[in-house]
Structures are given as structure tokens and as C-alpha cells.
Amino acid sequence: MGRPSDWQPPVDGATTRKAAVLMLFGALDDVPAASAKPLVSADLDILLIERATTLTDHPGQVAFPGGGVEPDDASIMAAALREAQEETGLDPLGVDVLGLLPDVPLPISNFLVTPVLGWWSRQSPVDVVDYGESAQVFRVPVRDLLDPENRFTAVLAREGHNYKGPAFVVNGVVVWGFTAGILNYVFNDLQWAVPWDENREIPAPI
């Protein structure tokens, strides 16, 4: 499994909208990884949200903080930080932006999404800001995401076709789709990924 766009149909280039998400890594002090496998540091974690089930786009899915780029956003990075602050309450001044990943199409909502990679150098409290937008905000140890026991292939049947992509089962939720594809891509690119059984399939939770 390669880039997260490899298993998705293309977006409509005439109407596509720009969006940004914040892929924010930090050091989690009080909740160590559940996995005992020495894959990465036990306190390295990443910030995720669970979207509200009432949303039109991607309801109930686990995602990175983020959303559409607004006309008054100074940059893609500024858009990602603004959305993360609006959704989780984090202080954007505590985030060091490390760079941008390649744009990824998100065809079901016709977004072209830029993942913004960040390091949480000065951490601040996070929680749900608006329950109309998010059901929960949580931090997941990266070691748990890398553990082969928590990795699956999600299968989505749509219009006579089966789409397959990586998935993670952590914190009692399934991370799949765009978010899992980005995580899978980054873990492979950083050479953090360890072999896992791609034949372990689960239905995409839609």
C-alpha cells in the first residue's frame, strides 16, 4: 500500500476545494503506549479527533484536526493551525511546523488536502471545543499505531467496486480512510513501519 491516494478515485479538478490538516506529534507524559513492543519511543504520540456523527462530510470518522482553507488564511500552515485551535483548543504558538506533505485528493468531499507536519514543542490542554464538530479529542501513542496487532486492511464496497486501504484499531475506534492512509505513508517514509498482515480485513465503518 503506497500513498493514501492510491486506493481512491480522483477528485473533480474543476470544483475541488483546498484544505489542510495538522499531523501533530508530541511527547505524551502520563499515558504510555499499551504496546510493549520496542517500535518507537513509548511517549511519542499524535493528536486525533473523532468527528461528530451529525457532520455532512465524513461523519464519525477519526481524523487529524483540519478543514477548508479560508480566503483570509495567510498560508496552508496558518489554515491547519487555525482549524486545530478551533477544534481542539490547542495554542498554535506551541506548535513548530516542520513541513508539508504532498497534496492528497479526498474525492468523497472533493477536497485537495495538504497535510502539515508539526511538533508540539510547548503543549497546551486540548478537548472538544464544539460537539457539533467533534465527538472527542484524543492523543494516541505512535507505538500503538505501529503494533502489527492493531493494523488491518479496511474494505469499502461502493458502486460495485471494493476499495482497500490501511486501518488501525486503537482506543476502541477504527482509524481508516484518508487519515490511515496518511499515517501509513508517513510511517513507511520514516522507516518506522514493521511488517503486518495486510490480509487481515475489516469492513470500513461507515
Selection from 75, 107, 108 nearest residue 92 by Cα? 75
Q: What does the pLDDT read at residue 19?
A: 95
pTM: 0.86
Do residues 78 and 66 make contact, with C-beta atoms less than 8 angstroms apart? no
Give the model's confidence band at 18: pLDDT under 50 very low, under 70 low, under 90 confident, else very high: very high
The ranges assigned to domains in the chain are 9-32+42-142
Q: Is the pLDDT of residue 114 over 60?
A: yes
Residue recorded with cell 484536526: 65
- pLDDT tens sequence across 147-184: 999 999 999 887 778 889 999 999 789 999 999 999 99
Q: Specify the pairing of strand 161-170 against strand 151-158.
A: antiparallel
Strand arrangement of the beta sheet that strand 161-170 belongs to: 173-175, 161-170, 151-158, 201-203
Distance CA 69, CA 24 (A): 18
Distance CA 47, CA 53 (A): 19
Q: C-alpha cell of 199?
A: 490480509
Give 45's DSSP letter.
Answer: E
Distance CA 111, CA 106 (A): 5
Distance CA 38, CA 155 (A): 29
Superfamily of domain 9-32+42-142: Nucleoside Triphosphate Pyrophosphohydrolase (3.90.79.10)
- pLDDT tens sequence across 117-129: 999 999 999 999 9
